[in-house]
Amino acid sequence: MAKHWKEQLDPARHRNHMWGAGCEVNETRDLTLDPRWVYFVRECGFTFEFHSLGQLAVCLDYLSKKTRPSTRIPSVDLTDYGGDHSETQRWFERLPQWLFAETKRTRLVKALEQARRSFEVK
């Protein structure tokens, strides 16, 4: 059974694993005056951490595709990643490969959709 929840951002505990992917938040704002939420979804023994609902949507879109796109980074696009192919790794390349087994992938998509609906209502 999927579990999802949200917590108030604590920079000491929460890391943004998906920087640059659907995260339209201002990192410099005062968290005591304007608190920010971190969203979690746990399914298949793995916990996803999202710093915005945009990140959740990007992840859901990626996992919804049965065939994943190439991970090759075009040589003209290196400025966003800070180096050549051997020096950079994007968020979806750090996901464990066992999550992409068809049965787990469909369970993850269902859990992420359910969590997104729940977070948008609250």
Please list, in sequence order, all residues whose beta carbon lies within 8 angstroms of the beta carbon of residue 10, skipping any fewer than 6 positions away: none
121's CB contacts (< 8 A; 6+ apart) are: none
Helices 53-64 and 102-121, interaxial angle, to 10°? 150
Q: How confident is the model at residue 36 (pLDDT cuts 50, 70, 90)?
A: confident
Full DSSP string of 48-59 = EEESSHHHHHHH
Alpha carbons 48 and 33: distance in angstroms, whole number:
26
> pLDDT per residue over 73-100, tens digit each?
665 555 555 555 555 677 888 899 999 9
DSSP state of 17: T
Question: The whole model's pTM is what?
Answer: 0.78
Q: What is the pLDDT of residues 54-73, one digit of tens each?
A: 999 999 999 999 887 777 76
Please, are residues 18 and 58 in contact by the beta-carbon 8 Å criterion? yes
